[in-house]
Structure 1
Amino acid sequence: MKQILLFGAGKSATSLIRYLIDVSAGRDWQLVVAESNLALAESKIAGSPHARAVCLDVTRTEAVDTLVAAADIVISLLPPALHYTVAVSCLKNDKHLLTASYLDDAIKALEPEIKARGLLFLCEMGLDPGIDHMSALQLIRQIEARGGAIRSFHSHTGGLVAPESDDNPWRYKISWNPRNVVLAGAAGARYRDNGNIVSKAYPDLFEQPGEVILPGVGILAWYPNRDSLSYIPLYGLEATQTFIRTTLRYPAFCRGWAPIVRAGLTDSQTTLDTTGLTFDQWSASLQPFVNASNRAQLEYLGCFDQEPVPPAAHTSADILQHLLETRLVMQPADKDMIVMIHEIGFIRDGRSHTAKSTLVVKGEDHLHTAMARTVGLPLGIAATLVLEGRIGLRGLHIPILPAIYDPVMQQLEQQGIRFEHTEN
């Protein structure tokens, strides 16, 4: 009997656990969910005979090794900083590893040993990064196969609130790790625009965002996402004049978030003395950036409340995270929405063309979210394909090879994750 080991049972794990339980039931496999919050893990497996929950402190190396040694494949949905601990254990115990997080330098340093041991470590296998890579590359290769020479590439992805649940001035609700929302964009961004290399500092990202129109939804705002330049050679698009990967939000979010960043309220490094500190005192640096366009949002978030900040908060980011979790929380019946849009300009037969590929996925409720579905399903599908020998690659990879993205995208379509394509 094959065993799948999943580290983490948080917001993004719900659909993955449900999928892996269904897969295991049909193949006589077993899913083990390791989580520090045992009650959370047990609630996610919902008494399935094909899964069990284990309480785990991931800092206990021996406990991690014991679980990894018994598994046939390992999936980590832990915070990115903890992937390395799992990766080292997978190497020690000769186990394949999948994550949804960006490939970082610590994992890259393990590449020679991963190859030497004949293992597959597959990173960036979620939504963004993940489905964005796979769907974009399928479209790029189709265009090139028909004689198209690509000149511009825009890829937009966002986790949004669905229109029917859009009822606050931020036009946003938390559907994934709130800490990641607080820190999004902190590293700034780099991309290519009309042949020029553009670098944007963190405070500038949310001001004057770009726009894209989604029929049935309206105008969405985008800001550049991390280092787009590093993906140009990976996508084989060195000749493109424009290459930008972005994050989507409603315009209202950027309008409210820009002053928060400017005021330094996302700082996660500086320790604060929160004794007797109130929210309005904490946010005093915000005052110069408050105006008629953002005041209602900042008031709604609680930035100017005269109540004390949480005593457990140690940094400004902690305080801000508390406000997001309490003021922008999804209610039980709320639905989120994932939007991904690829816009590719290319030349074929001497004429300019534009290909557009759009994905819209809505969640079921505050637990079974579109975010959890689109982050979790690629991981679950890939794990199943590896265990069944249908992905035979070895080494350290992200999903930019046809051997990965073709079978995974085919399975995603069967799960209702489908793109709509237009070309002119």
Structure 2
Amino acid sequence: MKNILLFGAGKSATSLIDYLLANAPRQKWHITVADHDLSLIKSKTGKSYYATPTALDIKDSAARQTLIRETDLVISLLPASLHILVAKDCLEAKKNLLTASYIDEEVRALQADIEKAGLLFMYEMGLDPGIDHMSAMKLIHSIEKKGGQIFSFKSYCGGLISPDSNDNPWQYKVSWNARNIVMAGASGATYKEKGKVKELTHEQLFDHTKTIQVPGLGKLAFYPNRDSLAYMTAYKLEELATFMRATLRFPDFCEGWNALIKLGLTDDGHKIATDHLTYSNWATRLIQDGTGTPEENMAQFLGVSSKSKVIRQLKFLGLLQTEVINLGEQTNAGILQFLVEHKLKMEATDKDMIVMMHEIEFERRNMATRMHSYMIVQGEDNIHTAMAKTVGLPLGIMAKMILQDKVTLTGLQIPVMPEIYNPVLKELEEYDIRFEESFE
């Protein structure tokens, strides 16, 4: 019997665990799920004969390394900063590794050693990054195979709230790691448009939002995501005049989040004492003058009406309440994360939604064409979310392919090759994760 070790049982692990357990009898494998919260693991594995819940402090090197040595394949759904601990142990124990997170510089430094060991470390094997790479490369390769020349590539993805559950002024609820939501865009973004490299700071990012039309949903706002240029080589589109990867949100969210940035509430640089600090005093710390109420002063600082939608959003988050924060020493981002987790949480019957769209412009036989390929996935409730489904299933399918010896690939990789994206995308369609296409 083959053994799979999964680190992390959080929001994105539900569908992955379900998939692995559903396939366990036929595939003859066993799953060990390791997390600091044993009750959380048990809530997702139930009483399955094929699962072993294991309480683990991920920084306990001896315990972590013992688990890795005893398994055949490792999957990590830990916070991004902790993957390097697992990666180094996998390299030492000569175990393949799968994760949905971005390749960072620390694991990039292990690339030569991973190749030398003949191992496969497949990163970016989730939703975004993950399904975006696979679906985009399938389109790109298909266009090129038919003689088309691509000159513009834009890819958009967002974890959103379903219209059925869209009942707050932010038009947003938390379906994944709240820390990632608060820190989104903190490092700015770089992309290419009409031959020119564009660079936006965090402060500029949400102020430059534009919209796209998504069939069945209407207008969604987008903002460029991280360093798009880094993927031009991976996609073999180095010569394109326009190349951008972007995040989707409902327009109201971007307007409100821009206000939070202007107020300095996403800053993660230094800690402040909160034991005697009210939310209202914290939220207005950058406002030097003003003779009105905190609400009026904040509106004046932001250049909006005190009756505006933005002020309603900030009040909904609790920024104007006189309650003491009482979270000890925290950064502004840490306080904001606490509020986001509590004020924008998904209720039991809430449903989330994943939207992904690729917009590719190309020329074939002297005819210019614009292609739109889009995917919309609806969640079931606040546990079986569309986010968990689209992050977890690609990892599960990839794990199955590896344990069935259907993958000969080695090295540090992302899923941009046909031998990976074709079977994974095909199986995803069995779970109603599929793309529709239109042409102009």
Length-normalised TM-score, structure 2: 0.95
Q: Which moved more, 1:332-341 or 1:109-118?
A: 109-118
Partner of 1:379: 395
Letter in 2 for 1:408: V
Aligned residues: 424
Letter in 2 for 1:392: T
**1:175-186 alignment, distance < 5 Å:** 175-186=175-186
Matched, 1:119 2:119: yes
- Aligned-partner Cα distance in 2 for 1:238–1:113: 27
Instruction: Give 3-state SS (helix, strand or coil) of 2:382's partner.
Output: coil
Deviation at 1:311, TM superposition (A): 2.1
Deviation at 1:67, TM superposition (A): 0.4
1:278–1:309 Cα contact (<8 Å) kept: yes
2:275–2:326 Cα contact (<8 Å) kept: no
Partner of 2:341: 325
Structure 2 residue aligned with 1:398, among 392, 405, 414?
Answer: 414
2:275–2:327 Cα contact (<8 Å) kept: yes
Partner of 2:75: 75
Deviation at 1:312, TM superposition (A): 4.1
2:192–2:241 Cα contact (<8 Å) kept: yes
Structure 2 gap segments, 5+ residues each: 288-297
- Aligned-partner Cα distance in 2 for 1:215–1:115: 43
Partner of 2:225: 225
Letter in 1 for 2:383: L
Letter in 2 for 1:212: I
Structure 1 residue aligned with 2:374, among 348, 351, 358?
Answer: 358
Letter in 1 for 2:316: Y
Partner of 1:389: 405
Query: Deviation per CA, 1:26-57, whole angstroms, max 9, x where unpaired?
Result: 22210110000010011110111111100000
- Aligned-partner Cα distance in 2 for 1:416–1:25: 23
2:157–2:248 Cα contact (<8 Å) kept: yes
Matched, 1:89 2:89: yes
Length-normalised TM-score, structure 1: 0.98
Deviation at 1:310, TM superposition (A): 3.6
1:5–1:68 Cα contact (<8 Å) kept: yes
Query: Deviation per CA, 1:151-189, whole angstroms, max 9, x where unpaired?
Result: 111100000000000000000000000000000000100
Partner of 1:192: 192
Instruction: Give 3-state SS (helix, strand or coil) of 2:6's partner.
Output: strand
CA RMSD in angstroms comes to 1.0
Letter in 2 for 1:289: L
Deviation at 1:344, TM superposition (A): 0.3
- Aligned-partner Cα distance in 2 for 1:203–1:71: 45
**1:194-273 alignment, distance < 5 Å:** 194-273=194-273
Instruction: Give 3-state SS (helix, strand or coil) of 1:392's partner.
Output: coil
Partner of 1:407: 423
1:290/1:38 CA distance change after superposition, 3 Å: farther
**1:124-163 alignment, distance < 5 Å:** 124-163=124-163
Letter in 1 for 2:302: F
- Aligned-partner Cα distance in 1 for 2:269–2:47: 41
Q: Which moved more, 1:230-239 or 1:116-125?
A: 230-239
Query: Deviation per CA, 1:292-313, whole angstroms, max 9, x where unpaired?
Result: 2411111111111110114245
Structure 2 residue aligned with 1:303, among 314, 319, 324?
Answer: 319
Instruction: Give 3-state SS (helix, strand or coil) of 2:106's partner.
Output: helix
Letter in 1 for 2:241: Q
2:161–2:172 Cα contact (<8 Å) kept: yes
1:151–1:345 Cα contact (<8 Å) kept: yes
1:276/1:90 CA distance change after superposition, 3 Å: same
2:275–2:328 Cα contact (<8 Å) kept: no
1:313–1:319 Cα contact (<8 Å) kept: no
- Aligned-partner Cα distance in 2 for 1:107–1:403: 24
Instruction: Give 3-state SS (helix, strand or coil) of 2:5's partner.
Output: strand
State the 4+ residue runs in structure 1 displaced beyond 3 angstroms. none
Letter in 1 for 2:234: L
Deviation at 1:239, TM superposition (A): 2.4
- Aligned-partner Cα distance in 1 for 2:181–2:190: 19
Letter in 2 for 1:295: I
- Aligned-partner Cα distance in 2 for 1:313–1:179: 17
2:135–2:425 Cα contact (<8 Å) kept: yes
2:121–2:413 Cα contact (<8 Å) kept: yes
1:24–1:50 Cα contact (<8 Å) kept: yes
Structure 2 residue aligned with 1:289, among 293, 302, 315?
Answer: 302
1:130–1:399 Cα contact (<8 Å) kept: yes
- Aligned-partner Cα distance in 2 for 1:198–1:14: 38
Letter in 2 for 1:244: M
1:259–1:290 Cα contact (<8 Å) kept: no
Q: What percent of counterpart residues are identical?
A: 49
Letter in 2 for 1:419: F
Deviation at 1:269, TM superposition (A): 2.3
- Aligned-partner Cα distance in 1 for 2:274–2:429: 49
Letter in 2 for 1:76: S
**1:11-22 alignment, distance < 5 Å:** 11-22=11-22
Deviation at 1:234, TM superposition (A): 1.1
1:99–1:126 Cα contact (<8 Å) kept: yes
1:255–1:293 Cα contact (<8 Å) kept: no
Query: Deviation per CA, 1:83-124, whole angstroms, max 9, x where unpaired?
Result: 010011101111000111100010011111111111100001
Query: Deviation per CA, 1:309-342, whole angstroms, max 9, x where unpaired?
Result: 1424511111101111111110100000000000
Partner of 1:101: 101
Structure 2 residue aligned with 1:338, among 354, 368, 382?
Answer: 354
Matched, 1:171 2:156: no
Deviation at 1:145, TM superposition (A): 1.0
Instruction: Give 3-state SS (helix, strand or coil) of 1:260's partner.
Output: helix
Instruction: Give 3-state SS (helix, strand or coil) of 1:345's partner.
Output: strand
Partner of 1:368: 384
Deviation at 1:346, TM superposition (A): 0.5
